Chains A and B, each alone.
With several copies, the nearest count.
Chain A
Amino acid sequence: MNGVHDMGGMQGFGPVQPEANEPVFHAPWEGRVLALRRAAGAWRKWNIDFGRHTIETLPPADYLRMSYYEKWFASTIKLIVGAGLVTKEEVETGRPAAGSKRETPPLTPDKVMPILKAGGPTLRETNAKPRFADGAPVRARDINPAGHTRLPRYVRGRMGTIECHHGAHVFPDTNSKFEGEKPQYLYTVRFEARELWGEGANPRDTVHLDLWEEYLDPA
């Protein structure tokens, strides 16, 4: 989806404003949102790609206005309602529906550190051979899927060079739709800044993206 989340190359957001001695959380509710999202995720009703797409499909003006944890909160509600863990009415009233069954949480305190330490690797075994060799020239495809994709607009149609591959990884475009992991080679592709931004760019500068095989054509 060519959404407002696909920000690479936009201008007009003003300077970057670092904050001195920034705390991990600016208010306790931010940490609770992070924790709720993780604990609800332990029900395994969605995957990371679907979760990202849920944030991307927030109304665009809200996406720009909301803070990071506000977006997480809004998208968590979408996720748990969509997964049937809670109903919209329960979220609105703040109370379990009459007669609803009490569940047993899958994430207990003892499992927290093991789960955080394990993460969710996306590398998968494959028998396929990589289509592109290191150093090969490639062109990023001109695709404009309505759903989730990790091919940013600013490189589409542009020429780059394969730096290396990282083995086969879960493909977000299908995984986000629960259409399968479709693992395929993931490559680091180097683009000259001038290829992306024209002659105004410094000729020494490069931008590197990790792109799946399906995003690339030989050039």
Chain B
Amino acid sequence: MSHDHDDHGHDHDHGASDMALRVKALETLLIEKGLVDPAALDAIVEAYETQIGPRNGARVVARAWTDPDYKARLMSDATAAIAEMGFSGAQGEHMVVVENTPDTHNLVVCTLCSCYPWPVLGLPPVWYKSSAFRSRAVIDPRGVLRDFGLALPDEVAVRVWDSTAEIRYLVLPERPSGTENMNAEQLAGLVTRDSMVGTARVTA
């Protein structure tokens, strides 16, 4: 799609540095008014930069691949099974896990905003929040998957999960062949964020 207004491109750059200044000004105001504690702000940022991210979900997936009892608990009560691993809370209060099989591929979206299972996947990537993904995932999921390089045969059913309520979805991808001798930690290293949203497969 061509964009005839190259001269408007500056808005974005202008916008970015402008945003840094405006956010700083608001933060300063709220601190001065005693409404927020700057150390609490630091702690929130640090939590999402270092602790709450897709490695959590990868550990859940790897354990489900290697521990049949855990997998059974995960499929019947994902919230509790994920909490066993120490992951819980904001934007993951009510979890459901959906399993990919040779016949069925799952894809998660939030068409109305950008709901995403934070405790297991961290903050959503830009593409997940984009209008392109939010709009097309429900009407053209196979086209979206092709954008990610994943061409599904017609025979594989696509199940799209639109996160319209407070249930959050995690895709349990298929364990790749050739990984029979890997342990859970090694397997977790293979599991990508995109595979747990449903826009990729896990490869060995």
Query: Is B truly associated with A?
Result: yes
Among the 9-residue stretches B61-69, B153-161, B174-182, the one with 4 or more Cβ atoms under 8 Å from chain A is B153-161
Interface pair A102/B33, CB less than 8 Å apart: yes
Interface pair B94/A123, CB less than 8 Å apart: yes
Bound Cα distance A77, B26 (Å): 9
- Chain A residues touching B, range: 35 or more
A96 proximal to B (CB < 8 A):
yes
Interface pair A85/B35, CB less than 8 Å apart: yes
> Knowing A122-B94, A202-B142, A207-B162 touch, does A18 contact B125 (C-beta < 8 A)?
yes
Closest to A48 in B: B166
- Contacting residue for B159 out of A32, A116, A170, A206, CB 8 A: A206
Interface pair A6/B29, CB less than 8 Å apart: no
B92 proximal to A (CB < 8 A):
yes
- Contacting residue for A166 out of B27, B42, B94, B138, CB 8 A: B94
Identify 6 residue pairs between A and B in the complex whose beta-carbon atoms are under 8 Å apart, listed by A's number.
Answer: A16-B144, A86-B33, A115-B90, A122-B166, A204-B155, A210-B164
A35 to chain B minimum Cβ distance, whole angstroms, is: 4
Number of A-B residue pairs at CB separation under 8 A: 296
B5 to chain A minimum Cβ distance, whole angstroms, is: 7
Within 8 A of B (CB), among A133-181: 144, 150-152, 154, 166, 169-170, 172
A34 proximal to B (CB < 8 A):
yes
Interface of A with B (CB < 8 Å)? 2, 5-19, 22, 24-29, 31-36, 38-40, 43, 52, 55-60, 62, 64, 67-70, 73-74, 76-78, 80, 85-86, 90-91, 94-96, 100, 102-105, 107-109, 111-113, 115-123, 144, 150-152, 154, 166, 169-170, 172, 186, 188, 193, 196-197, 202, 204-212
> Knowing A8-B162, A31-B45, A39-B44 touch, does A94 contact B25 (C-beta < 8 A)?
yes
Interface of B with A (CB < 8 Å)? 1-5, 15-16, 19-20, 22-30, 32-37, 39-45, 47-49, 52-53, 88-94, 96, 111-114, 119, 122-123, 125-127, 129-142, 144, 147-148, 154-167, 194, 199
